[in-house]
Amino acid sequence: DAGVIQSPRHEVTEMGQEVTLRCKPISGHDYLFWYRQTMMRGLELLIYFNNNVPIDDSGMPEDRFSAKMPNASFSTLKIQPSEPRDSAVYFCASRRPGLGGTGELFFGEGSRLTVL
């Protein structure tokens, strides 16, 4: 399997612009997570889906952030409008079904976002 695939790997944009990050989870995994990583705060959960349904979005910082999972093989994280404080690395991760909360997370390579 190719693993979790994220795009773009790097994004540089100007404040106020819309940013869309994309993720393709591992086939057969039924959980998908979006994390944000910064030096100061480490990995923070933004939102996660189970069987394409958003379960917990309490980590989404504000209304500027939205996430969708239209099908089992694709998810997007959108920031509109973007701000400099959104600069971070955004990771997508997926997990196999049937293991509850004990299963290993498989992370993508991340999308490094810089907002000028």
Partner 1 sequence: KNQVEQSPQSLIILEGKNCTLQCNYTVSPFSNLRWYKQDTGRGPVSLTIMTFSENTKSNGRYTATLDADTKQSSLHITASQLSDSASYICVVTSQTGANNLFFGTGTRLTVIP
Nearer to partner 1, 72 or 105 (CB): 105
x/- map, 37-66, partner 1, by CB under 8 A? ----xxxxx--x------xx-xx-------
The answer to whether 104 contacts partner 1 (rule: CB under 8 A) is yes
Q: Shortest distance, CB of residue 107 to partner 1, whole angstroms?
A: 3
Spatial contact of 21 and 77, defined as CB atoms under 8 Å apart: yes
Query: What single letter denotes the amino acid at residue 106?
Result: F
Locate tokens 């290993």: which residue?
104
What are the tokens at 4?
A: 């979790």
The answer to whether 25 contacts partner 1 (rule: CB under 8 A) is no
Distance CA 14, CA 41 (A): 23
